[in-house]
Amino acid sequence: MFKLKNDLLIDAYHKAVELNIDQDFIMLLIMEINRRGIDNELRKYQYKK
C-alpha cells in the first residue's frame, strides 16, 4: 500500500464501507490509514458529507 496516495486510500476505505466489503480488508485499510497518521483526514472527510 506504500504506492497508494493518501486521498486514494481514504476513498478506498469509504467505498469499501459503502459496499460492505470484507471486514478484514476494511481493517487493513484502517491499519494503513493509522500507520500513515492520516486518520484526521478520515474524520475530516466524514464531516464533509
What domains can be seen in the chain, in order of their start residue? 6-48 (1.10.287)
pLDDT at residue 10 in the model: 93
pLDDT at residue 33 in the model: 95
C-alpha cell at 46: 466524514
In the predicted structure, residue 14 carries a pLDDT above the cut 90: yes
Read off the pLDDT of residues 31-46 as tens digits, 9 standing for 90 and up. 999 999 998 887 766 6
In the predicted structure, residue 49 carries a pLDDT above the cut 90: no
CA atoms of 14 and 36, how far apart (whole Å): 17
Q: Is residue 2 within 8 Å of 15, Cβ to Cβ?
A: no
> Over pLDDT 90: what percentage of the chain?
69
* CB-based contacts of 41, cutoff 8 Å, min separation 6: 6, 7, 10, 33
pLDDT at residue 40 in the model: 87
In the predicted structure, residue 9 carries a pLDDT above the cut 90: yes
C-alpha cell at 26: 476494511
